[in-house]
Structures are given as C-alpha cells and as structure tokens.
Structure 1
C-alpha cells in the first residue's frame, strides 16, 4: 500500500513551511485527550515509551521524574493538552519541545549512542500513544468503529506533525503502523531501569501539592496509608492498559484474575464518567477549548460515550 502524499511539516529550526494544524474540534482526540479517562492511559503510554532502551536512557539520565514526579507529570500533561487544544499555540509548543530535547544525548543500555531527536526514537515516543489508546478504549469507552479507529490514527499523525515529526518517519496508514509497531516490540523493547521504577510498588514518592492548604496538609498526613495503594493501582493500570503484545515483549506478567478485575473496573468507568458534568469530565484546558469552540459553532454537543 502506498503512503498518501502529505504536506511537509516545519523543519527542526521552525522554518520550511506553514505551521501544521492540530486536530479539529469535534475530532476523536478532542473527545479522548481532555477526558479524565485519558489520565488512566498515560502511565501505560509512558512505560511503553521508556521500554525502548534509547528513550529509557534519555529519561533516566536527563529527566526529573524521580526528583519532581508530580511537577514533571503536570508539565507533560499541560504540553499534551496544547498539542490538541492549543490552536495557534500548538505548533509553538512543538517547537519548544524540540528545542528542549536538542541537548539530550548519551549512551543507552546496549552501548549505542542516542540523541532524543533521532527520528526513529522521537517518532516512537509519539507512536506509543496510538496502540495504548487502541487497546484501552475497549475497556474505558464504548467500542470504536473501524472508521473511528482510522480517524484516530489520522489525527495522531497530525499531532505528530505539530511535534515536528516528518511524514516519512511515521507509518502513513493503520495498515502500515502495525508491522512497524511489532518490529519495534521484537527488536528493541525491554524492561529498562525506568520501566522498573514506574512499576515499583515499594518506592518512596512525595505527596502531590494539590488543592488548598488544608487539603495538602490532610494528604500529607494520610500519605503513608495512601501511597502503597496508589502505587499498586498505578502498576495495575499501567500493565493492564498496555497492549498484551507489548506486555509480553517487555516481560510483564498479567493474570486472568487481573484481567477480570480490569474489565470490572472498566465497566464502572464506562457507566460513571459519561454521566459527569463537563466541568468534572474534562480537564481545565480541554474545558476552555471546548467552551470556546462551542461558542464559535465549531463543536457540536457530544453524546455521552
């Protein structure tokens, strides 16, 4: 199957053409990315990214995810929301990320030199979101149609252009994506040090600084009781919402009992979340963008999913 001709994206220095456009209001990603259920998928996508030795080494050596885990997570989430809901700011956020990654380089666990902007590594970081969404949707949402899955992939490619990923570095169709994905699983993925850290249930983690001062103090007081349960839940969702073939490639066990628990959890989520008002269902950046698009007549009222 031939790859469709796509418009060129900007070069790494921000020159070479018009800014790529983020996904349109009313698209699949406008529903998924800002929905609170998207938070449940993020750990699986992150673990799949850092299971690549080059990506894992970059995060291990250059990220503050150990010393500032909550701040790192908040900044990543804010950036992700901009890619989809940022409008004109989306492309600038993509350029900022590329500038940020220019100095990230070193040697991975297999003794290979890496640079964060090496096309195959940079593209893999973005590519992981599609198989995780493809798998997790069947638990957390109503099943997608084939047309919706194709639209999801097309919109994922458009976000890749926002990030500066060249068209030739990502498979152009869903049919081309799966052989590429399986080859990376077979040739590259392993339980890197960062994967092991993300799945650990016996590590220290400071309480998040959330909400007003009384809530933060209460959370700090209860944290010794909350932390072990939080870490077990994070591991459960990270492994469970990761595609089974990725689990196998990394060597992550998953039992039939855990699968039953995940299916029960997913049924509860599918019932409860669509009933929430928009102020509780969507994250703040998404709510503001959706409100603005609706006022401009660019976003129809969505039916609950």
Structure 2
C-alpha cells in the first residue's frame, strides 16, 4: 500500500538535489473534488477538436527546461507520436470523466513519472516531478483553452466562466497530485504566474521546435508495413494527412500567446488567422448539427449521457406521489 502524505508536509526534489525516495501522493482521496459533469470543463474537454488545443499546451510544457529535457530523454513522441497522443488524451479524459477512476489515474501518473530523473547538460539533477515543472504541465491548459474560446465557442469566456475554469484546473491539479503550495488561486494570481513563466522561465527548447516541425512532417509508417510497400504507403499517408496536419498546426500555433510564438521564433500572419477562424467556424456549425456521439470522445459522450439520465430521473422523482403528498395539519381537539 502506498503511503499517503499531506501536501503541507510533502517534500519534493528540487533541481540539483537528487532524492532517494520520493513521496507518491500529495492529496488524500477525500481532499480531492472531481470535475462536475455539467461544468464548462466537461463540456469542452471531450470534444474531438480539443486535441490540437491540447497540443498547444504540450508545446508550452516542453518549453520549460526541465520538462523539455526529460521529454527529450524519455518520451516516445519521436517513435510513436500517434500512440503517445492517444495515451495522453486517454489520461486527460479520465481526469475529467472517469469518476473515481480519475483518482487512480492521478496516482498512476505520479508513480509513472517518479523514476524519470536525470542530469541535464549542465550536470544538474532534474526530475519530472520537480514541483514547478509538474505544476506547469497542468497550468498550461487554462491559457490555451481561454485563447481557443473564440474558435471553439465563437465567443470569449465570461469572467464567471474563467473563474469556473480556474477552479476546475485546480481540481485537476489535485487529481494528478500536484503540490498546491504555490499554485494560483485567483485569476489575478494566475495571470501573474503565467506572465512570470513567459518572461523568466520558458525557453526555445529544441523539443518544442521538433514538435512543431513534426506537425507538418509525413506521419510515421508502422513497422508492420512490409518493406516493399513502405514507399507507397508513406506517400499515400503524407498526401492524406495534409488537411489534418494544416488544421493541427494552425490550431496549435494559433492558440498560443503571441509572446510564446515569439520565444519559439514562429510567425503568424493575418491570412493564417483568417484561415484558422474559417476552419473553426465550419466546425462550430458541424457541432451544432451533428449528433454528440460523433463529436465527442466515447468516454465523454457516455459520461455526459449518464449525467443527463440521472438528472431526468430527479425530475421524474419530483412528480411522484411522495413529492405531491401534503398531509393536513393535525388539529388538536380539546374540550
């Protein structure tokens, strides 16, 4: 059984200080709030169009030197990019729609990242569970979805919606066992936190540039394809993937903060912005007309339908005899 540690007393490895044994938990199950199934977060995260937005967050994550170096050494994004993306999406969906499974997924992730430790080019010990770096992974979701709101919803979030998204972002941070000592609690604190990362901590990491380049490269052909067929398969895959690659690249780069693009040396033209808006305008129309089963990941779809079914039951309960029965007050009969 894994020991449970309170976040106030948990110690974490700092850069340059290797540790022999690292605590695996920061939060007990009863301290963690799950994502409400009727929340804005639950509405947005399960959309298929959320994937490229998540890609923008991943690029920003590897711009943190610790994450970039660890991903460079341990990640399979070069050899199995599709598999990595699928597994990443699976994990995010569990946090949001998994119920009690979200808690287990958070523990699994922290345990999975615990052995990812190394020495960087300067000879300093770094860990995937460095508190600053591990928290940044979750924090990147908020600014990317905020920037993407006009594309996904056709409008900006209201102030109350932004506060709700931050509350859910903090809930997810606790689900995946992020130490919360320095995590922003208000929108004002988050804006300062985000500005500090852009101005003082993010770098033009080679892995970030590689990920951007990978979006426009021909997809990797599985090793199972026979060698004589590989040239033709590669050509066919490259041609067929062009529309998706353009969509992925434009959405990923388009939802980045302009200052992030500047760090990476990426240009962004008015024509690209118009193209991106046109694509998502068509997608918004599709989401309004297509059945939800075709526009949401299966887990998200079934979780949302489960919630709707429960709410419908509650409405029916209020019409039952038990709710309609109003006993007459007893009148005392005194002579």
Please give the range of the TM-score, normalised by the shorter of the 2 chains. 0.7 to 0.9
Q: Secondary structure at the match of 1:106?
A: strand
- Structure 1 gaps of 5+ residues are 1-6, 210-217, 301-305
- For residues 269 and 134 of structure 1, what CA distance do their matches in structure 2 show? 18
**How has the CA–CA distance of structure 1 residues 288 and 219 changed in structure 2, closer, same or farther, with 3 Å as cutoff?**
farther
Tell me whether 1:193 sits opposite 2:206 in the alignment. yes
Conserved 8 A contact 2:27-2:174: no
Give the 3-state SS of the residue equivalent to 1:168 in structure 2.
coil
Ranked by relative contact order (alpha carbons within 8 Å, sequence separation 6 or more), the top structure is 1
Partner Cα separation in structure 2 for residue 93 and residue 298 of structure 1: 29
For 1:249-279, what per-residue CA distance to the aligned partner results, in whole angstroms no more than 9, with x for missing partners? 3332111221222222222222222222011
Which of residues 112, 118, 128 in structure 2 aligns to 1:106? Answer: 118
Query: Does 2:31 correspond to 1:17?
Result: no
Q: 1:139·1:266 contact (CA, 8 Å) conserved in 2? A: yes
User: Which of 59, 67, 73 is the equivalent residue of 1:55?
Assistant: 67
Q: Computing the radius of gyration over CA atoms, which structure comes out larger, 1 or 2?
A: 2
Determine if contact 1:21/1:91 at 8 Å carries over to the other structure: no
- Show the counterpart of 2:268: 254
Does structure 2 conserve the Cα–Cα contact (< 8 Å) formed by 1:54 and 1:121? yes
Report the Cα offset of residue 16 of structure 1. 5.9
* CA gap 1:26/1:53 in 2 versus in 1, 3 angstroms: same
Aligned to 1:160: 173
**Residue 175, structure 1, aligned to residue 188, structure 2:** yes
Consecutive unaligned residues of structure 2, counting only runs of 5 or more, are 1-5, 11-22, 224-231, 315-335
Q: Which residue of 2 is the match for residue 141 of structure 1?
A: 153
Q: Does the C-alpha gap of structure 1 residues 294 and 121 become closer, same or farther in structure 2, counting only changes over 3 Å?
A: same
Q: Secondary structure of 1:75's partner? A: helix
Match of residue 89, structure 2, among 73, 77, 90: 77
Q: How far apart are the structure 1 equivalents of 2:266 and 2:275?
A: 17
CA contact (8 A) 1:10 1:17 kept: no
Q: Distance in 1 between matches of 2:190 and 2:208?
A: 24
TM-score by length of 1: 0.85
1:294 aligns with 2:303: no
